[in-house]
Amino acid sequence: MAIPHIEKEVERRRTFAIISHPDAGKTTLTEKLLLYGGAIHLAGAVKAKKNQKNTTSDWMELEKQRGISISTSVLQFDYHGNQINLLDTPGHKDFSEDTYRTLTAADAAVMLIDAAKGVEPQTRKLFEVCRMRGLPIFTFINKLDRPSREPLDLIDELEKVLGIRSCPMAWPIGTGDRFRGVYDRISNEVLFFESEDRANQSGRLEPKKIDANDPDFWKMLGGPRGDLDEAKELYETFRSENELLEFAGDQFDHAAVLAGQLTPVFFGSAMNNFGVERFLQRFIELAPSPVGRVGVYDQRDAEPVKKVVVPTSDQFSGFFFKIQANMDPAHRDRVAFMRVCSGHFERNMEVTHSRLGKKVKLSKPLNFFAQERVIVEDAWPGDIVGMLDTTGELRIGDTVCTTAGGASVFEYQGVPRFSPEHFAQMLIKDPMKRKQLQKGLEQLAEEGVVQIYRQRGMGDKDPVLGAVGALQFEVLQHRLLGEYGVDTKIEKMGFVHARWVVGSDLRPEEFDRREDTRCLEDRDGQPVILFKSDWSLRWAVDNHKTLEFRTTAPEIRGTGKKK
Ligand code: G4P
């Protein structure tokens, strides 16, 4: 029997994350989006995290000390009947595997780019993760009110640097001091730019608009002084750029957008709240609602079978993509964040934990907002629910599902581990605390704070730690001390790349002999090679044609079984 309303509930959901380089304006954009959803009423409520005040996701001691958001949570709001789930990814200089993993719970990504800077390194890394998953990507080019690079240049860069085709949905007229607004290529309207201060003074809620076919439109490009020469010049540039886009640009193709092959591009200024609402509207129109995900069904005596589980299925299912211990230091609790993938989630529901093969009751589902915890009564595909993990049994990548009506148990394909770029060994100040250290390391590795690699033949002794961002080591030390009472020292190692290696010809000694490479094992006993430079990685790839060097670990799925 179909679940009432499920189609409608799935259809109205959009679950996405914003990817960007620090300072591109993610906090500012998030804040404006939340204002549209009425989720916050005070401008600056999100921003305040930088000033170390109460904020939406600022709960960890270290975050408070540094005034940054290290953890990831979800911001949910309603916009004209649509349920928006914005996965909040950390926006500080450093970033962690958490950021990558969050993208596995998203159905789309918004790539935010600073118009003066173009594609920056962190955006590129995050983009690669989105591409790996085939996520649809929407581009918002921000800070047009400031001196910017040529818009055509920026578009070109998307293709050259990221290798993605793009289709501008809007086009800016002028930039910086001469930024006059954006032309909406779909509605054929020009939206005139006004700084937020000026817009507030005039009490205008929406930007002034004009049809681009209006013969007098060009005269309005003269800015506050009404300079007609300037107006003419801006208009000519606008016209020739648009002609170029018409003839040489990629045509809009919704299927290509949904397949992650074409990115629709928007322009605006988040700080001035200009272009943001139009972007949100188009995003809702074009971004996908939750789609089916591949489930793996174990067979007794045969290879597992893979089948797509549709969100509108009667069978409830979800997977855990993030675990956070000690969210509330007073309670020392552990919260596992679940993405609902199919069916209807209801509080106190009994589900099967696929990896452990046992029934569990989901009795403490939570939502977090502005440091408040709210019990969730129900949720739909695309929603994120925090689950209080009282038994400590949940792991990243775990699937839960119902089995009513004889539905089979399955697991979603795992959440991959990503190759770290920072490596270190840990020294303990008090050797009596070795046991606590081991326990802490294991738990925090499970959360994904760091990855642990064994040195071959040394068992669990003196492991090498790997992190996607260097700040993760600081987080690790801070938490080991605060939560496990272990004071540690970190000794950084000179490696910069790690690759999981697949192939029967691997001879680990060959890599251990060299000064610039080292062969280790991950928690599942899979070989991982560390490299000290781009050059040594290239050398290995060129000279070992029979080996495959992977940037992500084979799936985490079923780690419990392997252990
Ligand atoms: P992030 O989360 O991506 O790191 O960026 P954030 O929103 O904090 O923005 C970084 C800086 O860029 C902030 O300035 C912010 O005000 C500014 N900014 C964001 N969007 C725009 C825009 O559209 N135009 C202009 N001109 N600036 C923008 P700040 O000086 O670091 O902070 P604040 O003093 O403004 O708070």
The string of DSSP letters for 475-518 reads HHHHHHHHHH---EEEEEES--EEEEEE-TT--HHHHHHSSSEE
Total-model pTM: 0.85
Does the beta carbon of 271 lie inside 6 Å of ligand 1?
Answer: yes
- Residue 183 has a pLDDT of 94
The full DSSP string for 305-372 is: EEEEEPTT-SS-EEEEEEEEE-SSTTTT-EEEEEEEEES-EETTEEEEETTTTEEEEE--EEEEETTE
- Residue 59 has a pLDDT of 37
Does the beta carbon of 273 lie inside 6 Å of ligand 1?
Answer: no
- Residue 417 has a pLDDT of 77
What distance in Å separates the CA atoms of residue 253 and residue 104, rounded to the nearest whole number? Answer: 24
Alpha helices (H) along 207-315: 228-248, 254-258, 276-286
The residue among 148, 153, 154 whose CA lies nearest residue 193 is: 148
Helix axes 276-286, 26-36, angle to 10 degrees: 80
Does the beta carbon of 123 lie inside 6 Å of ligand 1?
Answer: no
Does the beta carbon of 382 lie inside 6 Å of ligand 1?
Answer: no
Name the closest-CA residue to atom 6, ligand 1.
Answer: 25
- Displacement of CA 36 from its chain's centroid (Å): 21
pLDDT per position in the chain (563 positions), as tens? 688 899 999 999 999 999 999 899 998 898 888 888 765 444 333 444 444 333 333 334 544 444 334 344 678 888 999 999 998 765 455 566 777 888 999 999 999 999 999 999 889 988 998 998 899 999 999 999 999 999 999 999 999 999 999 999 999 999 998 999 999 999 999 998 887 777 666 666 677 878 878 888 888 888 878 888 998 999 999 999 999 998 888 999 999 999 999 999 999 999 999 999 999 999 999 999 999 999 999 887 788 899 999 999 999 999 999 887 766 666 667 888 999 999 999 999 999 999 899 999 988 888 765 456 778 899 999 999 988 887 778 888 899 999 998 999 999 987 777 888 999 998 888 888 888 998 889 888 877 788 999 988 887 778 899 998 888 898 899 889 988 899 999 999 999 999 999 988 899 999 999 999 999 998 888 899 999 999 999 999 999 999 999 988 765 444 344 33
Q: Cα angle at 95 between 38 and 388, to 5 degrees?
A: 60
- Residue 162 has a pLDDT of 96
Does the beta carbon of 146 lie inside 6 Å of ligand 1?
Answer: yes
Does the beta carbon of 147 lie inside 6 Å of ligand 1?
Answer: no
Best residue among 19, 20, 21, 23 to mutate for probing ligand 1, ranked by most atoms within 8 Å of CB = 23
Name the closest-CA residue to atom 36, ligand 1.
Answer: 47
Point out the ligand 1 atom lying closest to the alpha carbon of residue 29: 7
- At 109, the amino acid letter reads A
Does the beta carbon of 536 lie inside 6 Å of ligand 1?
Answer: no
The residue among 257, 244, 243, 241 whose CA lies nearest residue 172 is: 241
- Residue 559 has a pLDDT of 38
Does the beta carbon of 269 lie inside 6 Å of ligand 1?
Answer: yes
Asked if 335 and 387 count as a contact pair (C-beta separation under 8 A), the reply is yes
Cα(272) to centroid(ligand 1), Å: 10
- Which domains occur in the chain, in start order? 6-286 (3.40.50.300), 293-412 (2.40.30.10), 422-550 (3.30.70.3280)
Name the closest-CA residue to atom 28, ligand 1.
Answer: 271
What distance in Å separates the CA atoms of residue 99 and residue 246, rounded to the nearest whole number? Answer: 37
How far from 305 is each of 398, 399, 409, CA to CA, in Å?
18, 16, 12
How far from 92 is each of 70, 72, 126, 334, CA to CA, in Å?
8, 12, 14, 24
Asked if 553 and 522 count as a contact pair (C-beta separation under 8 A), the reply is yes
Cα(508) to centroid(ligand 1), Å: 48
Does the beta carbon of 91 lie inside 6 Å of ligand 1?
Answer: yes
- Residue 66 has a pLDDT of 41
Cα(29) to centroid(ligand 1), Å: 9
Point out the ligand 1 atom lying closest to the alpha carbon of residue 24: 3
Name the closest-CA residue to atom 31, ligand 1.
Answer: 23
- Residue 298 has a pLDDT of 87
Does the beta carbon of 181 lie inside 6 Å of ligand 1?
Answer: no
- Owner of token pair 């003074």: 201
Asked if 335 and 323 count as a contact pair (C-beta separation under 8 A), the reply is yes
How far from 434 is each of 437, 441, 462, CA to CA, in Å?
5, 10, 11
What distance in Å separates the CA atoms of residue 289 and residue 341, rounded to the nearest whole number? Answer: 11
Best residue among 21, 28, 31 to mutate for probing ligand 1, ranked by most atoms within 8 Å of CB = 28
- Residue 1 has a pLDDT of 64
Does the beta carbon of 145 lie inside 6 Å of ligand 1?
Answer: yes
131 phi and psi, to 5 degrees? -65, -40
Point out the ligand 1 atom lying closest to the alpha carbon of residue 92: 4
Query: Token pair for residue 132?
Result: 């790996």
